[in-house]
Amino acid sequence: MGLAELEDLEVFKPGETGNVEKEEAAVVSKKLPQEADYLFDRKYVCPVCGSAITSKAVRSGHVKTVGTDMDLRPKYEQLDTLKYDIVACRVCGYAALARNFTDITESQIALVQSKIKATFKTQAEFTGSMYSYDDALERYKLALVSAIVKQDKTSERAYLCLKTAWILRGKREMLEAMLTEAKATGKKLKKEETQLVSQIPELVKEEKAYLKNALEGFLGARRTENFPMCGMDELTVDYLIAALATVFEQYDVAKKLLGNILVSRVASNRLKDKARDLKDTIAKVSQ
Contact range with Zn ion by CB under 5 A, out of 39-47, 195-203, 235-243, 260-268: 39-47
Taking CB under 5 A as the criterion, the residue among 49, 87, 261, 275 binding Zn ion is 49
Task: Considering only residues 50 through 79, tell me which ones interact with Zn ion, judged by CB under 5 A.
Answer: 51
- Specify the stretch interacting with Zn ion by CB under 5 A; choose among 81-89, 238-246, 255-263, 271-279: 81-89
Comparing CB distances to Zn ion, the nearer of 89 and 137 is 89
Query: Quick check: 215 binds Zn ion (CB under 5 A)?
Result: no
**What backbone phi and psi angles, to 5 degrees, belong to 95?**
-150, 150
Is 275 in contact with 254 (CB distance < 8 Å)? Answer: no
Per DSSP (E only), the strands in the chain are 39-45, 52-58, 65-68, 74-76, 86-88, 95-97
89 touches Zn ion by CB under 5 A: yes
When asked if residue 104 is in the footprint of Zn ion (CB under 5 A), the reply is: no
Taking the least distance from each CB to Zn ion, the nearer of 46 and 235 is 46
DSSP-derived letter for residue 81 is G
Q: Residue 92, interface with Zn ion (CB under 5 A)?
A: yes
8 A C-beta contact, residue 28 and residue 37? no
C-beta closer to Zn ion: residue 146 or 155 = 146
CB 160 within 8 A of CB 142: no
Q: What is the DSSP letter of 228?
A: S
Return residues touching Zn ion (CB under 5 A).
46, 48-49, 51, 89, 91-92, 94
